Amino acid sequence: SFKPRIFSGIQPSGGLTLGNYLGALKRFVEKQDEGIETIYCLVDLHAITVWQDPERLRQQTREGAAAFIAAGIDPKRSILFNQSQVTAHAELGWIFNCIARMGWMSRMTQFKDKAGKNSENVSLGLFAYPSLMAADILAYHATMVPVGDDQKQHLELCRDIAIKFNNDYKVDFFPVVEPLIEGAATRVMSLRDGTKKMSKSDPSDQSRINLTDDADMIAQKIRKAKTDPEPLPETLEGLKDRPEAKNLVNIYAALAGMTPEAVVAEYAGAQFGTFKPKLAELSVAKLSPITTEMNRLMKDPAEIDRILGQGAERADAIAQPILAQVKDIVGM
């Protein structure tokens, strides 16, 4: 049996959003504070599956690291590093490219969403993305992966890869990973339409709340968020066919540490003209300390690089022996 170990990552493909905070970062901190071994990664190899300007990628990687630390990740208690600095990810990713099947990959909804109608013209890396993600996790024999709901299908594929590797080589080597998808806002939706997820990597959608936004910007984005003309209902059931309203209630609940039921009960009958300013106030209260701390950390990029370098050494020390065993199993 495998010892409990958590791995998760965020792409440095843009400024982090409220979705990344509620679906990922906030929960990463909770897991660290529960005392479980936690390994967190800026996944730059994933980011370049779509074009990234080199200087921006460097900047966004540091900014992502600053966001982790500002949100409460302690680089002494958690391992925090940058994926490309630990070569085991790419090496194991290749081996998994030879385990995963084309058919499995072509069923991934994220690939279909990101490739759109242009699937002939996207990178091969974008197609293989989930296989590299499986390597990220399994290079550490991680047993639990906190992610937003959007990553559920990729984690199922990670399980399939682990199972097929174990079967193909008649070993019991890779753990079958448990997804940790919990809470009200594990899928924060876009404030523009409530039907697509809020994403840092969707350039067409400027409605997202970024962790670098100031108080006025946050309030303005919430004020502009699409809603319907009805007041908030008496019970959660009343939000069933109201995705935009439901999204705002979920965001409020996650930020306040309440259940969506409790939020609806508190605001039953309220108009959005009343609810939105409350949501803005709460968002600013939770996010502005993080923004302030990020800005402070970003003044010393050398210190961020030093933290990431130390994290990479610690990560490498775990991943290298596992990779060596994989190569031995495969006959290398």
* 99-108 CB contacts, 8 Å cutoff, 24+ apart: 99/131, 99/161, 99/164, 99/165, 99/168, 100/128, 100/130, 100/131, 100/134, 100/157, 100/160, 100/161, 100/164, 104/157, 104/160, 105/130, 105/131, 105/157, 108/153, 108/154, 108/157
Minimum gap (Å) between residue 331 Cβ and ligand ADP = 34
Pair 287, 72: CB distance under 8 Å? no
Q: Which CA distances in Å does 195 have to 16, 239, 310?
A: 20, 14, 40
Residue 61: which residues within 8 A CB-CB, separation 6 or more?
12, 42, 44, 82, 308
Minimum gap (Å) between residue 21 Cβ and ligand ADP = 8
Q: Examine residue 211 and tell whether it contacts ligand ADP (CB under 6 A).
A: no
Helix (H, G, I), strand (E, B) or coil at 327: helix
- Stretch of 70-78, 181-189, 219-227, 291-299 lying at the interface with ligand ADP (CB under 6 A): 181-189
Selected from 7, 15, 17, 100, the binder of ligand ADP by CB under 6 A is: 17
Pair 194, 239: CB distance under 8 Å? no
Helix (H, G, I), strand (E, B) or coil at 184: coil
Closer by beta carbon to ligand ADP, 17 or else 227: 17
Selected from 6, 7, 15, 20, the binder of ligand ADP by CB under 6 A is: 20
Selected from 186, 227, 250, 291, the binder of ligand ADP by CB under 6 A is: 186
> Looking at the annotation, which residues are catalytic?
114, 197, 200
Helix (H) or strand (E) holding 288: helix 272-297
Minimum gap (Å) between residue 137 Cβ and ligand ADP = 12
Alpha-carbon torsion, ordered 148, 27, 293, 312, to 10 deg: -80
Q: Examine residue 44 and tell whether it contacts ligand ADP (CB under 6 A).
A: no
Q: Examine residue 126 and tell whether it contacts ligand ADP (CB under 6 A).
A: no
Q: Examine residue 221 and tell whether it contacts ligand ADP (CB under 6 A).
A: no
Residue 19: which residues within 8 A CB-CB, separation 6 or more?
148, 185, 187, 188, 197, 198, 199, 200, 208
Q: Examine residue 60 and tell whether it contacts ligand ADP (CB under 6 A).
A: no
Minimum gap (Å) between residue 34 Cβ and ligand ADP = 18
Residue span 134-173 as binding mask against ligand ADP, x where in contact by CB under 6 A, dash where not? -------------xx-xx----------------------
Q: Is 257 annotated as a binding-site member?
A: no
Q: Examine residue 132 and tell whether it contacts ligand ADP (CB under 6 A).
A: no
C-alpha atoms less than 13 angstroms from C-alpha of 255 in its C-beta half-sphere: 21
Q: Examine residue 10 and tell whether it contacts ligand ADP (CB under 6 A).
A: yes
Residue with the two structure tokens 């998994």:
96
Residue type, 92: L
Size of the site for ligand ADP (CB under 6 A): 22
Q: Examine residue 197 and tell whether it contacts ligand ADP (CB under 6 A).
A: yes
Minimum gap (Å) between residue 199 Cβ and ligand ADP = 4
Closer by beta carbon to ligand ADP, 182 or else 230: 182
Pair 25, 17: CB distance under 8 Å? no
Minimum gap (Å) between residue 155 Cβ and ligand ADP = 10
Closer by beta carbon to ligand ADP, 222 or else 323: 222
- Stretch of 8-16, 30-38, 48-56, 71-79 lying at the interface with ligand ADP (CB under 6 A): 8-16
Q: Is 11 annotated as a binding-site member?
A: yes
The string of DSSP letters for 93-141 reads: HHHHHTTS-HHHHHT-HHHHHHHGGGGGGS-HHHHHHHHHHHHHHHTTT
Residue of minimal Cβ distance to ligand ADP: 23
Interacting residues with ligand ADP (CB under 6 A): 8, 10-11, 13, 17, 19-20, 22-24, 147-148, 150-151, 186-188, 197-201
